[in-house]
Each structure stands twice: as C-alpha cells, then as structure tokens.
C-alpha cells in the first residue's frame, strides 16, 4: 500500500478504530435523543448496525476506487468520499425500508423524511471526517518536515567533507607551520562545538565570529584563491539569530564560488539595516556556463529556510543571480528596541 496516498490513513488500524468508535458514538447519541419510543437499548443496537454498515461500506468503496481516486486532487477526493457516503446511506436506508419498515414501525413516517434525516447526518459526519483527515495529514506533514529540517540543518552546518578537508589541511601544516595547524584545529573545534552543542540562538557578533573561523579554516586550504570581503556596519546591531544560519551560505559560496575555479574568487559578506530590516548578503562568483551556477545550492539553503520559518518574527532567505554572481540574502525584522554594539 502506498502510504503517500492521503486516504490511506483511513485503512490503517488507527483509522479503522476511530471510524468504529465514531460510528458507535453517533449511534449512542441518536439512541439517547428525545422523542424516541420504545427500548432505547434496542434503538442503540439498530442504530449501531445501520451506521456501522454505512461507514464500513463507504470505506470499502473508497478502498476499491483508491487507484482512480489517487488521480484526483485533495478537494475532488473529499467530494468523492462524501458522495460515496451519501450513496451508501441512501442504499442502506432503502434496504432498511423495504425489509424492516413494518417490524420496526418505520411506516409511521415517510421514506422521504428518513432519507432527509440520513442525508443531513451523512453530510455532517462526512464534513467532520474530511476536516479530521485534513488535520491528521497536516500534522503528519509538519512532523516529517520538522524531522527533515533538523537533519538538513545538521548536514548543512558541518558537512563530512569539510571535516576531512580540515583534518588534511592540519596534517599538512603540522611539520611546516605547527602554530597554524593548532589554530586550524581550534577553529574547527569551536565550529563543531557551536554546531552540535546548541540548537538555540546567538548574538549577531558571535555568529560573525564563528563565520570568520570557518573562512579561516577554508583559507588554510585554498590560500589566495579565497578572498573574503567584509562590509559590516559600525556598530553591529545586537540581534539574536539562529545559531550558524549564516555559515551554510558561506559554505555554499566557498564550494561553488571558490572550489570550482583555480582563479582568485571574492566572497562578499555585506550586512546593512534599512528601517526595521537587517539584511545579511553573501555573494560569490559563478563559474561555468550560464544557468549552471545554482546547481547544488539547494540543501544548505533549504535547511536555513526551514529554521527561519520557526522564528517568531518575520525572516526570509532570498537568492538570485546577477552580473555573474550568485547572491543569498538573509532578512530579519529588527525588534522595536534594538541596541548596537
């Protein structure tokens, strides 16, 4: 069974159990309604039999038509489900009227009244079921997105190849320049401590300090090929950011703007605030044929967007290409009272 089909939740054990419990609750409600003549326990049993027959036959029809329904959009699937529920209701009421109208004294009323009652109940129950199913699917989707975002964020913070490259650079410097090798390992330790030790927030100045350590590590590997340029306001705003939200942008810039070329490449880090917005922009040159520069810029940027979506204040990440460069911009809404440092 394809678990990506939105209706599959109905045929799982939990979904079937809730359908049976809901049907029994409706049967009990109808049996306790005012104006019922006779033994209410008997009416509960009859209501239970009829409602369970309608609900299970509807589930059976949905299951038989699942492949055809999978071609429709969610709204059409909901409409088809309610239509099948109404058809099962009308069919069950018709058979009940033909076979048990006299024994159950249903003939005191009319078939039309019984159909109208069954139709109204079926519509209400069907709409409630659609809303419940949509909420269930939305919660599942949010849970999957949250898990995926956490994994992607961890991958985007410190990638395995970055660890191996840093260790190789340190080994190469151990004999010739042991002091640089020690600094390199200390910078790597600080980055890993920040990446793995916290999932909270950090001051902008501290985030920039971690990014400088990251670029220092990469400069040990690329040398003059990596030329970072910092354009920062003085003083810096005192703003809390998700920890290491800027580092994945720098990692993408180094990987696609420096590693892809043997020529010196400038990575520009530009920060400025306009009105109540703080903009952090990272730019790197594009190499190769036009339109190919953005390939591979996806994982880190997706994880950053997922983390920004959880912030209480509006924040966004936008990317674009212009003048042979790839640009990624983080945009944060500054608090009403923001200090500078």
75: how many CB neighbours lie within 10 A of its CB? 9
Query: What pLDDT is attached to residue 255?
Result: 85
Establish if 70 belongs to a structural domain: yes
How many Å apart are CA 341 and CA 323, to the nearest integer? 34
How many Å apart are CA 232 and CA 279, to the nearest integer? 11
Query: What pLDDT is attached to residue 272?
Result: 92
Establish if 338 belongs to a structural domain: no
- Coil vs helix vs strand at 31: helix
Same domain membership, residue 131 and residue 75: yes
What are residue 241's DSSP bridge partners?
202
Asked if 233 and 273 count as a contact pair (C-beta separation under 8 A), the reply is: yes
pTM of the model: 0.53
Query: What pLDDT is attached to residue 299?
Result: 58
How many Å apart are CA 320 and CA 281, to the nearest integer? 11
Establish if 341 belongs to a structural domain: no
DSSP string, 155-220: HHHS-HHHHHHHHHHHHHHHTT-HHHHHHHHHHHHHHHHHHHH--SEEEHHHHHHHHHHHHHHHHH
Asked if 48 and 92 count as a contact pair (C-beta separation under 8 A), the reply is: no
Same domain membership, residue 164 and residue 289: yes
Establish if 340 belongs to a structural domain: no
> CA neighbours within 13 Å on the CB side: how many for 175?
2
3-state helix, strand, coil in the chain (%, to 5): 60, 15, 25
Domain extent, residue 94, equals: 6-155
Torsions phi, psi of 253, nearest 5? -65, -40
Same domain membership, residue 177 and residue 68: no
Same domain membership, residue 129 and residue 106: yes
Sheet arrangement for strand 315-322: 226-231, 265-274, 277-285, 325-333, 315-322
Query: What pLDDT is attached to residue 247?
Result: 85
Asked if 163 and 217 count as a contact pair (C-beta separation under 8 A), the reply is: no
How many Å apart are CA 167 and CA 160, to the nearest integer? 11
Q: pLDDT (tens digit, 9 = 90+) per residue, 266-289?
A: 999 999 988 888 999 999 998 764
CA distance to 208, 331, 333, per residue, from 314 (Å): 21, 8, 6
Tens digit of pLDDT at every position of the chain (341 positions) = 344 455 666 777 877 887 888 888 888 887 787 766 667 787 788 778 888 888 888 888 888 887 787 777 777 877 888 888 888 888 888 877 776 655 555 555 567 777 888 888 888 888 887 787 777 777 777 766 665 666 555 555 556 666 777 788 788 778 778 888 888 888 888 777 776 665 578 889 988 988 998 898 888 888 889 999 999 998 888 888 888 788 889 988 998 889 888 889 999 999 998 888 899 999 999 876 444 444 444 556 777 887 787 777 888 999 999 988 999 999 998 876 555 55
Asked if 330 and 244 count as a contact pair (C-beta separation under 8 A), the reply is: no
Among residues 87, 121, 155, the one where a domain terminates is 155
Establish if 126 belongs to a structural domain: yes
């Amino acid at each position: 069974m394809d678990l990506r089909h939105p209706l599959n939740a109905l045929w799982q054990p939990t979904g079937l159990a809730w359908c049976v419990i809901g049907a029994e609750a409706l049967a009990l409600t109808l049996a306790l309604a005012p104006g019922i003549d006779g033994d209410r326990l008997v009416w509960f049993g009859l209501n239970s039999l009829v409602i369970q027959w309608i609900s299970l036959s509807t589930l059976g029809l949905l299951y038989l038509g699942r492949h055809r329904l999978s071609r429709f959009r969610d709204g059409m699937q909901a409409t088809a489900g309610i239509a099948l529920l109404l058809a099962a209701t009308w069919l069950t009421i018709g058979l009940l009227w033909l076979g048990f109208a006299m024994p159950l004294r249903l003939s005191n009323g009319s078939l039309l009244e019984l159909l109208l009652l069954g139709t109204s109940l079926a519509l209400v129950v069907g709409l409630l079921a659609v809303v419940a199913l949509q909420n269930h699917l939305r919660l599942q989707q949010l849970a999957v997105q949250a898990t995926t975002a956490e994994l992607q964020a961890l991958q985007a913070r410190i990638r395995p190849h970055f660890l191996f490259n840093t260790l190789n650079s340190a080994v190469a410097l151990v004999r010739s320049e042991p002091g640089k090798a020690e600094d390199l390992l200390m910078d790597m330790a600080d980055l890993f401590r920040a990446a793995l030790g916290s999932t909270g927030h950090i001051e902008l100045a501290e985030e920039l300090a971690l990014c400088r350590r990251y670029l220092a590590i990469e400069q040990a590997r690329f040398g003059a090929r990596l030329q970072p340029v910092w354009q920062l306001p003085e003083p810096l705003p005192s703003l809390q950011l998700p920890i290491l939200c800027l580092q994945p942008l720098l990692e993408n810039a180094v990987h696609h703007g420096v590693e892809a070329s043997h020529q010196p490449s400038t990575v520009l880090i530009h920060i400025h605030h306009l009105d109540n917005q703080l903009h952090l922009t990272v730019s790197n040159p594009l190499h190769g044929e036009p339109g190919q520069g953005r390939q591979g810029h996806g994982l880190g940027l997706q994880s950053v967007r997922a983390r920004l979506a959880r912030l209480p204040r509006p924040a966004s990440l936008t990317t674009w290409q212009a003048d042979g460069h790839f640009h990624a911009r983080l945009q944060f809404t500054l608090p009403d009272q923001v200090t500078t440092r």
